[in-house]
Amino acid sequence: MSQLDPQPDPANLTPSDRSAVSPSDWSSPDLAPTDLATYDQDAVQEILQLALAKRGDIEGYSRSQLLEMGQELGLSEADITAAETKWQEIYGDQGDRARFQASEKARIQRRAVKVAIVTLFLSPINWILAHHLDWSLIVALVWGLFIALDAWKSQQPGTDTFEKRFQNWQNDQKTIDDWT
């Protein structure tokens, strides 16, 4: 915002207007909240999120701290527990998905290395026998095509193939965890 623009009322800022206000303007007296200001639920969430983000010294909150904060906002323990369960359903497996995608990438890289090794072994044999590279390159190209298709399918979140592989991977991880 330029200095010629009038300062907006913070209670009437839309999310796009809020992003136009720089953090240095937050402490401006023109943008200071008044006791008469009212906020909708989205504004409250954004304000609290900004306030919590400003406290960079805290790495996380314990469950008891979460319950205490909720009680201060007038929320029951049952409501907080239900919201926590829903949050874990939505966001809990994102770390698993990231680890799964990393393991899929490593699996595909291992398969590509196998193709390279086999091609390096077959190419000299093909050259010695036929004095040109024809069938060894065909083997490498077809095998590489299958790996590329597999990589494409396994790296597309939301597809049936991805979800099926992810579920199998999760089951394998649970089995490994049970054994350890």
**HEC letters along 86-130:** HHHHHHCCHHHHHHHHHHHHHHHHHHHHHHHHHHHHHHHHHHHHH
Contact present, 55 and 28 (Cβ < 8 Å):
no
pLDDT in tens, 124-156: 999 999 888 888 899 999 999 999 998 888 888
Tell me what the pLDDT averaged over the chain comes to: 78
Q: Is the pTM of this model over 0.75?
A: no
pLDDT in tens, 66-88: 888 888 888 888 988 888 888 87
The domain locations on the chain are 1-60, 62-92, 94-179
**What pLDDT is attached to residue 13?**
54
Distance CA 118, CA 171 (A): 32
Distance CA 161, CA 155 (A): 9
